[in-house]
Structures are given as C-alpha cells and as structure tokens.
Amino acid sequence: MVTENKEAKNTRYSLGLALYAHMKSFRNRIAQYEDETDYVDTYGALLTRCIRVAMKLQELGIGEDDIVSACTHNHRNSCVPFIASTFIGAIPATFDPGLSDIDTVSLLRLMQPKVIFISQEMLKDFETYMEKARVKPAYTIVFGESRGQYMSFDEFLKPQIKENQFKVYETSNPKKTAVVMFSSGTTGLPKGICLNHYALLKQSGSFRDDCPEIINSDTADSVLLLYPTLYWISAVCTLIGAVLRGEAKVLCRSFNAKRFFEIVEKYKRCVASAGSTYLTPFL
C-alpha cells in the first residue's frame, strides 16, 4: 500500500514528466538490449521515438484520459506507446498476446481504446476480437509494415518539426489515473485496476530497494532481464524503475532456460523480471 505524503500535494507533475526528465538525463546510457537482434538502444534514442509517437497521437486528436492500448511481444518499440501515452496524459492499457480469446474480447469491451498498437502476428486475431467485442478503435497501428486500412508504426517515427519544443503533460492531482492494469481473472474475467501517478512512481522507484547488494543505481552496470509484457504489473514497475535509475533492460520475447543462462553469462550482473511459471524448467 502506498500512501500520499505532503510532497505530493500542490505540485504539478506526472508519471510522464518523471519518465521524460530521467530519460533526458540518462540520454547517453543504454536503455535496452534487444535479445533477438542484439540491437542496442540508448535512452536518448528511445526518448526521441517516444516524443515523435506522442506528437503523432496528438495530431490524431488523442489526449488526456483517452485509452491507448497495445498488444505485442517485447521488442525495442513495445514500450514506446506506453511511454508516449503518459507524455500526453492518455492512459495506457496493455494487452498480452497470451491472453485467452474470451479475456481479450472482455477487456476490449471494458476499455474501448481509441488507439491500439498491434504486432503483425496478432493482427488477424485482433480483427476477430474487435468484431466480437463490437469495438472499433479510431486508429489501429501495426508494428512493422502495414497494408490497407491500418497505419504503420513507422509513420509515427518520422521527425516532427517542433519535437524539441514538446511539452509533457502535467497534473496537480497525484491521484489521477495514469495507467490501467488488469486483475488476474482467477475468480472471473479480468477487471480493470486504475493506478495513479503518485503510487506508480513511488512503487516503481522502490521496486527493488530490498536488494541493494544486487543493484547499485549509481553505477548502472547491471541489466534487467524482462520477460513479461506490459500487461503485467511486474513489467510496468520494471520499466518505470529502470528509467528512474537509468538502468538497461534486456528485452526477451519468450523464456528459454538455455538462453536464460547464455544471457546471464553475457551480461554478468542480471536481475530477471519473470513469473513463477518460468521456474518450471529448473525444477
């Protein structure tokens, strides 16, 4: 449980503003390693993409309190819609490619996203889900090439004339919803859980304070192995915490025990963000 203190009152800030400020401060540090391609991404390059996507969303009329969803595996741009949404006061609500058909349709009905970013692999499935849910986002964006009625994510990465003058969304209400997560659905269909700016920043900032012997944020010489997608609170806290600390993540599409040890050997100092189900191969 996170309680509000006096510092949170009468202050204009936001989750997006905190992410923006720290990404800018750590612009020369490595933000991400893409395991499948060995692509190396700096915070500066990641910030530029987030700003461009945020400005493109604004051009499309997306803004404060609008729901922006995504469904994709982990890759260099999977976190960009999430961060870009927080930059403009929109509310990210992310789906997982592994969700059941019933859960996905139910959550689409619940969230009614105005924009959804989808991987090419999930596009056909989501066309079916959206038809069943009777939900039609104003814009559907596909990561990679897109033909026909959908926009390509690449269009969102084109340089913007005034990107150096971009202003990040701020709020004077720290209890305003910043992100929507979902319950596990163990006792029924998953339900939306509204998380506010203050709680997310506090929780993510202290997400791994209980293991200082493993992590030294001053040196930022460790890396985080990220297996879950941003549908899961562990991944969201890992992402936000990494930005606040200027740490690097290794983006892993799926878990493989052999590959896990290869990654640990490659990067030496690693902290893995993974669910208990990933431990099965070790038992």
Domains along the sequence of the chain with CATH:
11-282 (3.40.50.12780)
Residue 273 has what pLDDT?
57
Residue 279 has what pLDDT?
58
CB contact at 8 A, 86 and 14: yes
DSSP state of 138: S
d(CA 253, CA 36): 8
In tens, the pLDDT along 195-251 reads 999 999 988 865 444 444 444 444 456 788 888 999 999 899 999 999 999 999 999
> Which stretches in the chain have pLDDT values below 50?
1-2, 7-8, 10, 207-219
In tens, the pLDDT along 207-222 reads 444 444 444 444 456 7
Residue 277 has what pLDDT?
58
pTM of the model: 0.89
Residue 269 has what pLDDT?
65
Residue 145 has what pLDDT?
83
Cite the DSSP H helix spans in the chain: 15-25, 43-59, 80-87, 101-111, 120-133, 153-156, 197-205, 233-245, 257-267
- Of 196, 208, 2, 162, the closest CA to residue 86 belongs to 196
Q: In what order do the strands lie in the sheet with 91-95?
A: 91-95, 67-71, 115-119, 139-143, 151-152
Residue 261 has what pLDDT?
79
